[in-house]
Chains A and B, each alone.
Chain A
């Protein structure tokens, strides 16, 4: 892993939070290399004991401005709770209307879930 180009960006946070390091590494690579997000930066969320990722998600229509999304990785072996999700929202500044929780598996399967505060009507 140390030879991977993403490692230098993440090394500090990987050492600080080794329990969620695998998930962070996998999600960071998925967003930057496969999903091609832009302006990706990594945030430290001590309240959730992990790092989060902020970036702009590319939209297929060129006239829409890419929206800034926050992604919080976690692994399948963890158990999460609503207080954990609330801590994720409150520790982010500015307060986002929604965050994406990403659950990773050891074989690199990644599933993204959009979490909003309160009930939100589906778009279409």
Chain B
């Protein structure tokens, strides 16, 4: 059951506690695989098998991602672990629901995008009102000074009240008026005769998410986009490493030469590390970082940690010979670090620098790169960053 419902009672009318209970019920499963309560035990071992949804995805080489074509699989992967993102939505694929809402023009059950749009429109109106009030107050002060030589404090009316609106006290003056429907408008009967909207959205998994589902959880199969033949694990392993070669078709042959600093491998190490500790890991592009860590998921609370992946080469020679120019592999500047820390502190996230050590080709033979067993040779170290202000932080 998706939280996007046009017909049933909208979530906004439920009490906050029942809404929370509803959310906890919908997102109860933390991973796509469900371990059911054991009904039969033999010698203390549960004999019930885990329930595996066996989802399928199509590999897309141009966008370097895996697309989930079935909306049932998409809902399942989103609700059990928050994997993927709708390509036309902020998080969960809600494009079709928004189009249907727009068509009905009732919009009672607003999707998250519509709520945000409404909030932004109100904030814009508030800013315009405030700007006008400031300009009017300043003009009044000017005229008062020019005419009477009197200096008045702008922004304070003669009876002492503030006339410049503040965010806490401003209220939207005109409520958004739904357009009046004339009797000749589309009635409910005619709506059903209109063409059903084709769902042009899909859930898109990044390569790291897709590989985690394929290799760590074994609940996803990836198909070739044109032939629909499923890839073997070895083909997926090679194709994902080759994904940064610009191409319109998948490249399932082993990369030559195989390198430890392949961008897919380095970012996957970080993704797998945090996922296996139970964090929900999402993209951090909106906050200038690589990943965001959520304790339970984006629908519950804002992300607590922002991860920047910093690759470190064990052997500088490997970096010099590298065909890849990995981000953040060079020593960074203080201005860069301060900027990222400021951006994230402002949104109440803690910045974590995640150092991934890339093994040296002189010490570890690149032959281990033929399988995911090579991940054992990488290591992850975290450094947490907080701003320290000695004058203010004593309380």
Contact = CB atoms under 8 A, between A and B. Distances in A.
A111 interface: yes
Contacts of B262: none
B95 interface: yes
Contacts of B248: 14-15, 18, 21
B384 interface: no
A77 interface: yes
A124 B128 contact: yes
Contacts of A22: 60, 62-65
B246 A21 contact: yes
A97 interface: no
A107 B62 contact: no
Interface residues of B, number: 37
A2 interface: yes
B131 A2 contact: no
Interface string A1-12: 110110000000
A25 interface: yes
Interface residues of A, number: 28
A108 B244 contact: no
B13 interface: no
Contacts of A103: 285
Q: For B124, B131, B282, B285, which residue has the most chain A Cβ atoms within 10 angstroms?
A: B285
Interface in B207-225: 207, 209, 225
B286 to A, nearest CB: 6
A103 B63 CA distance: 13
Contact of B85 (A14, A29, A77, A109): A109
A124 B95 CA distance: 31
B255 interface: no
Interface of B: 60, 62-65, 84-89, 95, 121, 124, 127-128, 131, 200-201, 204-207, 209, 225-226, 244, 246-248, 263, 282-283, 285-286, 325, 327
